[in-house]
Amino acid sequence: MTPTPPASDLGGPSATPSDRFGDAVRQAVAEGLLSEGQPVAGFLDADGVRDSVTALHEAFAAVPGVRVLHTFAAKAASLVPVLRLLADCGMGCEVASPGELRLAVEAGFAPEKIVLDSPAKTRDELRTGLALGVAVNADSFDELRRIGELRPPGSASGVGLRINPQVGEGSIGAMSTATATSKFGVALRDPGVREQIVRAFAERPWLTRLHAHVGSQGCPLELIAEGIAETYRLAEEINGAVGARQITSLDIGGGLPVNFADHEVRPSFGDYVAALRASVPGLFDGSYDLVTEFGRSLLAKNGFIGARVEYTKDAGGSRIALTHAGAQVATRTVFMPEAWPLRVGAFDAEGHPRSGPPMVQDIAGPCCFAGDVVAHGRELPELREGDYVVLYDTGAYYFSTHWAYNSLPRPAVYGFAGGPGGGVRFVPVRDAQSLDSVAQESGLDHAAALTGLGTGVPRTQ
């Protein structure tokens, strides 16, 4: 067996579970929510989510006089019970597709608390949003013209224009939306565009919002603040040019990065507000209503994935633990492990933290391709068949955004909180997908469609 190298040489962090997650794992195994028959599931700490929302509201409430609508980016956890919990906590909802808009409505968000984004809205999608009265951020001049054609008289929808402040790239290019060539928004620093934006507002008195979003994971606070500062300066320029306070609100996006290295929440929402106050003090003087669109930073650290170890094996001097959590629930981590490392916890067959000397192990998933590994070379107590691994910081984007590779069914998702007299109480958030459902989604109703298509006569070249 390969000797265990120092932790600093392993290329990624591992973790000791927090008490509340450890209790949840043990209870989930005891109740069969994690078992041989259900070898992978997602878990979300409802009280932790409430605490995160409270921290967000308190960070902005510390600045007197500022009016803020905090929306949750639905793509981070597109599960109706999760969205309803957030609505109950006073959040709004940012949506970027017809499906997400439907989920937001089903979750109970009032139309005036819903913001519709995305770079490719169809006419039908715009008609629906405008009819409901949700806010709409146009992503381009062409879309702005389309909204002008479709917008009914007296529409309750606030309309904004998304700009790309072009302030640069964070450490993960794919998550940076304010680069020179980003597909999002109107490129503010391209020749002649700034003047075109000012004219667009002057010609449309109903256009009352500017929107910008610098990026998500990998974007430092300084870069985010720079993009928001550019947006604020443009709003001031536009209002000066039209001679009125036409722009009344600024949608400053989200993108607060998550610390995946350990349990600590950093940067905090308080850090975010402090960075904005230092870079854009006028943002908080009450001249503009603000809208935020946080997602990952509200949920990531409040959830985890539990998965059963099905087998272990040695290959080329390396130990591999084959589990049921791979690219189907941790897609970004599998394909970009350096950008999206996950902490891993080891538990025995009863759900207790596994003890024993550390051993370097790869934690692999069930998908049928060689790269399906969620953690490479981690120091963990030796895992055995029937044990469980926990992937931490996966409350956003992971178990809620399943990839159907190998026709693997979507895992069950449970919410949990402390129960009376201690212990943990679980509620279902999403049922595990059945194999009947997998077959149905794969065209079962049309099984003979292709065999009955055409004449059956061989085609000539």
Extents of the domains making up the chain: 8-45+301-427, 46-299
What is the distance between the alpha carbons of residues 239 and 203, in angstroms, rounded to a whole number? 13
> CB–CB of 432/410 below 8 Å?
yes
Please name every residue paired with 44 in a beta bridge, in sequence order, or none if there are none: 303, 415
- Compute the residue count for the chain: 461
- pTM, entire model: 0.92
pLDDT of residue 216: 79
> Mind listing the pLDDT tens digit for each residue in 194-253?
999 999 999 999 999 999 988 777 778 888 888 899 999 999 999 999 999 999 999 999
What is the distance between the alpha carbons of residues 388 and 398, in angstroms, rounded to a whole number? 18
What is the distance between the alpha carbons of residues 172 and 258, in angstroms, rounded to a whole number? 13
What is the distance between the alpha carbons of residues 78 and 86, in angstroms, rounded to a whole number? 12
- b vs e for 445-459, b when ≥16 Cβ sit within 10 Å of the residue's Cβ? eeeeeeeeeeeeeee
Task: Report the top-level CATH class of 8-45+301-427.
Answer: mainly beta
pLDDT of residue 187: 87
Structure tokens at 271: 């850090």
pLDDT < 70: residue spans in the chain: 1-18, 168-178, 180, 455-461
pLDDT of residue 339: 87
Please give the radius of gyration of the chain, using alpha carbons only, rounded to the nearest integer: 24
Cis-peptide, bond into residue 411, ω within 30° of zero: no
Task: Report the top-level CATH class of 46-299.
Answer: alpha beta
Amino acid at 320: I
Residue whose C-alpha is closest to residue 17's, from 416, 392, 420, 439: 392
Those residues whose C-beta lies under 8 Å from the C-beta of residue 380, and which sit 6 or more positions away, are 14, 344, 346, 354, 358, 359, 361
Residue 160 phi/psi, 5-degree rounding, is -125, 170
pLDDT of residue 164: 87
pLDDT of residue 169: 62
pLDDT of residue 423: 86
